[in-house]
């Protein structure tokens, strides 16, 4: 099942035109995260060195090599968000969920991470939950956003 899924995704990979990162995104979307076993299979089917696949998987913050919660909260830590109060947002998220950066809640509902600029500096401070971005965050707005999950 696992091997069949990876084989199917990598079959569409053309090393000339499709970056490895796109393949890894597709595999992650289907399987949840990129375990060591998954990375080995990707390397096998793409006929690439495992070190190259592992290097890309661990370099990009949007790729996960460890099992995460159902929802991943990424708090932007780049300068514009920092100036607009991302530290307060981060503290608020930590307190509400009772977890630190890199941790997952006991009920496996949320994982917390930092990220660099999300490209929405005009509405700083911003966070991303899964693939959705929320800006102009305040403590009240954060509460409303978290309730959606
Ligand atoms: S610095 Fe946070 S979105 Fe750009």
**Residue 122 C-alpha to ligand 1 middle, in angstroms?**
8
Residues in Cβ contact with 104 at an 8 Å cutoff, skipping those fewer than 6 apart = 68, 69, 110, 111, 112
Shortest CA distance to 68 belongs to which of 142, 129, 146?
129
Contact predicate 58/65, CB 8 Å = yes
**Residue spans of the chain under pLDDT 50:** none
Question: Which tokens sit at 137?
Answer: 């965050």
Q: Return the domain boundaries, the chain.
A: 2-59, 71-147
* Stated pTM of the model: 0.71
Ligand 1 touching residue 120 (CB < 6 A): yes
Q: Which atom of ligand 1 is nearest to the CA of 117?
A: 4
Ligand 1 touching residue 89 (CB < 6 A): no
**Residue 111 C-alpha to ligand 1 middle, in angstroms?**
20
CATH topology of domain 71-147: Glutaredoxin (3.40.30)
pLDDT for 67 equals 86
pLDDT for 16 equals 52
CATH architecture of 2-59: Orthogonal Bundle (1.10)
The upper half-sphere exposure of residue 137, i.e. CA atoms within 13 Å in the direction of its Cβ, equals 33
pLDDT for 17 equals 58
- Mutation choice for ligand 1 from 121, 128, 135, CB with most ligand atoms inside 8 A: 121
Supply the mean pLDDT for the chain.
91
Q: Which atom of ligand 1 is nearest to the CA of 135?
A: 3
Shortest CA distance to 21 belongs to which of 49, 48, 53?
53
């Amino acid at each position: 099942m696992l091997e069949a899924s990876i084989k199917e995704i990598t079959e569409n990979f053309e090393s000339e035109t499709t970056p490895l990162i796109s393949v890894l995104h597709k595999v992650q979307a289907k399987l949840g995260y990129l375990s060591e076993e998954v990375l080995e299979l990707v390397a096998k089917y793409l006929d690439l060195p495992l070190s190259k696949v592992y290097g890309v998987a661990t370099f990009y913050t949007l790729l996960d090599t460890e099992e995460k919660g159902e929802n991943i909260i990424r708090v932007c830590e780049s300068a514009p968000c920092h100036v607009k109060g991302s530290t307060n947002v981060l503290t608020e998220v930590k307190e509400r969920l009772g977890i630190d950066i890199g941790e997952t809640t006991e009920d496996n509902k949320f994982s917390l991470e930092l990220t660099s600029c999300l490209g929405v500096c005009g509405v700083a401070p911003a966070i991303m939950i899964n693939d959705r971005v929320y800006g102009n965050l305040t403590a009240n707005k954060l509460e409303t956003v978290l309730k959606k999950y």
